[in-house]
Amino acid sequence: MFAQADAGLEHDPRRGVGTDLLGDFVQATGRAEGIFHVRRRSQRRGYDVGLAESAVLIKSKQLTGNGYDNSTRCRLESERETLFIHLFQIFFHVSNKTYRVGIVGATGAVGQELISLLGSRNFPLAELRLLASARSVGRLMDVGGKKVTVREATPEAFEGLDIALFAAEGAIAKALAPEAVKRGCLVLDKSSAYRMYADVPLVLPEINLEATRKHKGIIASPNCSTSVALMGLYPLHKAFGLKRVIFATYQSVSGTGADAIDELEAQVQAYAKGQPLIHKVYPYQIAFNLIPQVDSFGADGYTGEESKMREESRKIMGLPALKVSATCVRVPVVRAHSVAVNAEFEMPVDIAAARAAIAAFAGATLVDDIANKIYPTPLDFSRQVKCGVGRIRLDTALDNGLSFWVSGDNLWKGAALNSIQIAEAMIREGISLRAS
Ligand code: 2RA
């Protein structure tokens, strides 16, 4: 009986013989059965799989060359040496640990994405507590087909929770995150309140998951533009050694919130009817326009968003002196941010090696075939786990420079998804959710 192996698993050769796939699969199904290829080197990853060795599950339809053309079959693969390849059945006994999770700001755009992603990713939930401001108390929200009542986000509301996913404004995170930590909760905060605190890890799990090992109860998730840009930039930094970078963003209105989406849609409709276009959320009409201002201006002439891109990129990549300049622009796109990146590197660059680095990176999909007009767009990368990277070319103004384009979902990788991925990765790697 091998059918469970098909439960949403995709073999990603770029991830090598890791345990991520096993983790995802086991998390989703509670057990695995199949033909496996066990590797000798023991590698415990927080799953009690009942084996000394760890294994990787590979969807067999991608193994037709190896004769496994039955899409319900798996195989065990050895990293160095095959111990055995023959048909047998294994039951993995997974520790059935589940987690009590709260969402602060559950009624907002990111809060709703969190609810839906926790369900679609089969996060091991023992409880999902929906918290919001007093005015939303009593509202019923759909959680996997069941109605859950929204409670007020008070300090006491965190009692008994393991994880609090904050999807609220910075002021709320400032007021309530310490209360959650005091009650033994791990806070994953998507606001900018704590991002630059020295004792708060700022984490994109594909890049610096290790930083979570020293958390003191709060872990911050980066700004959406930074998150999307680094899914393209970081693998190139690893390949060539980043020296300086220039970002130009194309940010969708969902980054501002539901009111901004409504404003764009209302302006498009008004335009079609020949009526006046009203703006309240943005200082200018956004439909059929661009606004080169995201957040307020600082004394240096850069906006808050532009400064965040500089400081957060430095912190996440561990490059405190990195030269960074950004121009952030709001565009009339509903969902997914895009970033044009010009980066200079220490080492000579090579397009084929750059493409290979992107293709091998867990957070990116290489979408780069200009002969066929193939490159990432915000529409294509809305509601996608990975960010799309394309238009990779030699930069003609920088030494050892590359120019490229990234599109990624600002509400997913830029917010809700990243927080969940942090929690998933910590659980998978056996990193304590409790403050050290
Ligand atoms: C924006 N970066 O797109 C913000 C959202 N956090 O406006």
- pLDDT tens, position by position, 241-251: 999 999 999 99
* Ligand 1 centre distance from Cα of residue 166 (Å): 15
Q: What is the pLDDT of residue 278?
A: 98
Residue pLDDT, tens place only, 89-133 = 333 434 579 999 999 999 999 999 999 999 999 999 999 999 999
Query: Reading across the β-sheet that carries 364-366, which strands appear in turn?
Result: 323-330, 242-251, 337-345, 401-408, 387-394, 364-366
Q: pLDDT (tens digit, 0 to 9) for every residue of the chain, 436 residues total?
A: 222 333 333 333 333 333 344 444 444 444 343 333 333 233 333 332 333 233 333 333 333 334 333 332 333 343 333 333 322 233 343 457 999 999 999 999 999 999 999 999 999 999 999 999 999 999 999 999 999 999 999 999 999 999 999 999 999 999 999 999 999 999 999 999 999 999 999 999 999 999 999 999 999 999 999 999 999 999 999 999 999 999 999 999 999 999 999 999 999 999 999 999 999 999 999 999 999 999 999 999 999 999 999 999 999 999 999 999 999 999 999 999 999 999 999 999 999 999 999 999 999 999 999 999 999 999 999 999 999 999 999 999 999 999 999 999 999 999 999 999 999 999 999 999 999 8
Amino acid letter, 92:
F
Q: Please name the residue whose Cα sits nearest to atom 1 of ligand 1.
A: 255
Closest by CA to 56, choosing from 97, 94, 91, 26, is 26
Q: Which residue blocks in 33-150 are alpha helix, DSSP H?
A: 109-120
| CB-side neighbour CA atoms (13 Å) of 72 | 5
DSSP per-residue codes, 43-57: ---S---SSSS-B--
What is the pLDDT at residue 436?
82
Q: Distance (Å, rounded) from C-alpha 10 to C-alpha 18?
A: 13
225 touches ligand 1 (CB under 6 Å): yes
Structural contact between residues 405 and 340, judged by C-beta atoms closer than 8 angstroms: yes
Verify whether ligand 1 is closer than 6 Å to residue 305 (CB atom).
yes
Q: Label residue 374 exposed, middle or buried (CB < 10 Å: 0-12, 13-18, 19+).
A: middle
- Look at residues 183, 122, 115, 123 and name the one whose alpha carbon lies nearest to residue 148: 115
371 three-state secondary structure: helix
**Which atom in ligand 1 lies closest to the alpha carbon of residue 308?**
2
What is the location of CATH 3.40.50.720 in the chain? 99-222+415-429
CA distance 309 to 189: 17
For residue 414, give the ligand 1 atom closest to its CA. 6
**CB distance 256 to ligand 1 below 6 Å:** yes
CA 330 – ligand 1 centroid, Å: 9
- Ligand 1 centroid to Cα of residue 251, in Å, is 8
CATH (residue range 225-411): 3.30.360.10
Q: Can you give the C-alpha Rg of the chain in angstroms?
A: 23
| From-to residues of CATH 3.30.360.10 in the chain | 225-411
For residues 196-207, one letter each, b for 16 or more C-beta atoms within 10 angstroms of the residue's C-beta and e for the rest, the string is: eeeebbbbbbbb
Any ligand 1 atom below 6 A from CB of 408? no
Residue nearest to atom 3 of ligand 1 (CA): 255
Minimum-distance ligand 1 atom for the alpha carbon of 410? 3
Dist CA 190 CA 170 (whole Å): 9
Ligand 1 atom with the smallest distance to the CA of 305 is 2
Q: How far apart are CA 72 and CA 57, in angstroms?
A: 11
| C-alpha 203 – ligand 1 centre gap (Å) | 17
Ligand 1 centre to CA of 379 (Å) is 17
Q: What is the CATH number of domain 99-222+415-429?
A: 3.40.50.720
Token digits for 63?
A: 């193994």
- Output the pLDDT for position 16: 35
Residues belonging to the active site? 224, 337
Q: Is 223 in the pocket of ligand 1 (CB under 6 A)?
A: yes
- 181's enclosing H/E stretch is helix 170-182
